[in-house]
Amino acid sequence: MDADDFKVEAVLKEDRRFIVPLYQRKYQWSENRLLPFWEDVQAKAAEVLSDDSKFEHYMGALIIAPVDIGSQISKTPIVQVVDGQQRLTTFQLFLAALREAAKRQGLVDFTKNINGYLYNNPKSKDTDPLTKFKLTPTPSDSALFHDLIELDYSEIERKYRHFFWGSTVPKNTDSPAFRAYFLFNKWIEEFLLNGPSDDAPPDDDYAPENFEGDNEQVTVERLEALLNAVLDRLKLVVISLGENDDAQVIFETLNSKGEPLLAMDLVRNNIFHRAEKQGAKVEDLYRRLWDPLDDTWWRQAAPNARPTRPRIDHFLAHTLAAETGDKISMRELYAEYRAFAVPKSKPRFENVEDELKLLEHYAPLYETLEGRKSYDTDLAWFGRKMSAWQVTTVYPVAMQLGADDVDQITRKLITKLLYSYIVRRALCGLTTKNLNNVFQSIASIFRQDGVSIGSFSTFFYGKQGDSVRFPSDDELHEGILSKNAYAISPQSRLVDILWELEQASRSNFSEKHEKPDGLWVEHVLPRTWTEDWPFADSDYAAPDSDLPQTTSRRSIIDTLGNLTLVTNSLNISVGNKSYLEKKRKFSDHTGLFLNKWFLNQERWAEKEIAHRGEHLALLAKAIWPYIGSLQINQNE
């Protein structure tokens, strides 16, 4: 047996035929495996684009057994895939989808380059026509798989139309390989359109739009980054069996049901191994400083974070980012920690106890942000807001705010401004895709210059780019009047916005209420209006017409001025009813101040929506202050 690690390029580049034995399973990877694979590839592609790659990433093992065909020259070598065929097949499907994206861009040389990792160059004594393929799956997968490798996407759609349901391939398809290829095509197209993202990939029915704003050079760079990520930044541990190795015993051993190690398990072992070498009282250290981190809660998946990993791993990544101000790779977390704890072979801490006390300091801050504890009221409030917005990339900054030398006023103000920054950008229709880089830069500045209002403000000074800027009051005002607020997703974000506006609408004499469960966002003027919703100065026009009054109405119908909150049951009840009927329902069945606005409105059309939008914009400027208005009531 021989084991070594190889880049994916080295595994696939040489002419070699990988054959999956008959007894192996069909291809079975679904989203729970495909999504982490895509996240790994995308993360490495993002590093390529930013020229910021520190570690290669291991994707698992590939066990192969050479097939004895004698010492014949001029024949393509054959190896049997004992284990890792699901992973190897996924790499091939991804490369085929990436090649299809290159074809759509007319990149002939790029397409030929990828073919070198999908096809062999048959030799003179090869007789099997399937030798040209790098991979030969099980017979039940073979015909489809080789069609996915050989045919254009349009031909595949026609030939396998029966796998589609409308424009998508259902999750319960009989062919996971076909769905994997379909999803990779979707995800790659979205990446080429928008670049790297921490958000979940697009839904199945996602249809790529035109490449507005990104020229051909950007598209090519993103394609090359994906290819470079797969071939050069990802590695496989290849185990080549010898003549006397029992392939089945090795397969069963490696696929036993043992509990997989987390990155934090490796960190723990590393820490206490060094503690033993220092002569520390290991059991005492473990009991006092590590045992709380062994609670089951820490091993549960962090609910709002990507990629999907246990809380303990995300906690460690946020701790390293807060301590260093650097970008931390979740996929190489153990390597990141070793580089942090022992940089250039010189320990950062005088002893392991100090190292553990650092984790002890940050643990309650993370637990507060996650809602498990309430170490600090401002951080607890901020954590609830970030939960509603499903934003955790800001945690390193929040954990820096929890330092003992940061005063309460500074902590309150900066958490308020961070929340304001996120909400303002959403209401102005600005991208969320760069938030991780923004927060990492702020953490770096705080690490370098200390946590202060001044350093926070300095970061945003002069930054006017769409991906970074802190929207001004004027931009916020215009965004509320004209941008599609209903497109803010997930809906918990929009519910949070409207609930804050609800609270701001109340007078000082009103009773204070917690936000009820089950609130829904309702269009007051329905998107599919009927003749019950007349136009102010013209005859009725159907929602799907191209008349000027329809175009004007469609431009304002999804703005904040036309949206409100209702309970689920009331949402179903009011539906597309007339304004007078909705007004009566609001009066009888809701006590929200947002809906009391309508009691004084005799009609509801474009003019009234704009008027309410102006009112909400004034409230919004006070709720979510601009970075230039640094006075926040300490009693809030």
Q: Which residues pair with 168 in a beta bridge?
A: 165
Provide the pLDDT for residue 590.
76
Averaged pLDDT score across all residues of the chain:
89
Token pair for residue 346?
A: 């010189």
Which of helix, strand or coil describes residue 533?
coil
| Residue for token pair 């019950």 | 532
**Model confidence pLDDT, tens digit, residues 242-269:** 766 766 666 656 555 555 667 888 898 8
How many Cβ atoms sit within 10 Å of the Cβ of residue 616?
Answer: 27
Which of helix, strand or coil describes residue 269?
helix
Alpha-helical (H) ranges within 14-67 are 31-50
- CA–CA separation, 197 vs 40, rounded Å? 12
**Model confidence pLDDT, tens digit, residues 43-72:** 999 999 988 877 888 898 899 988 865 556
**Do 21 and 80 form a contact (C-beta atoms < 8 A)?**
yes
Which of helix, strand or coil describes residue 204?
coil
Instruction: Give the chain's residues under pLDDT 50.
Output: 208-213, 631-636
- CA–CA separation, 184 vs 200, rounded Å? 13
How many Cβ atoms sit within 10 Å of the Cβ of residue 219?
Answer: 18
Q: What angle do CA 138, 30, 180 make, to 5 degrees?
A: 70
Provide the pLDDT for residue 479.
97
DSSP code of 2?
A: E
Provide the pLDDT for residue 330.
86
Provide the pLDDT for residue 1.
74
Provide the pLDDT for residue 534.
85
Token pair for residue 272?
A: 């206490």
What's the whole-model pTM score? 0.77
Provide the pLDDT for residue 632.
45
Provide the pLDDT for residue 402.
96
Provide the pLDDT for residue 634.
41
Q: Which of 385, 366, 270 is nearest to 316 (CA)?
A: 366
**Model confidence pLDDT, tens digit, residues 82-140:** 889 999 999 999 999 999 999 999 999 999 999 999 999 989 888 899 999 999 998 88
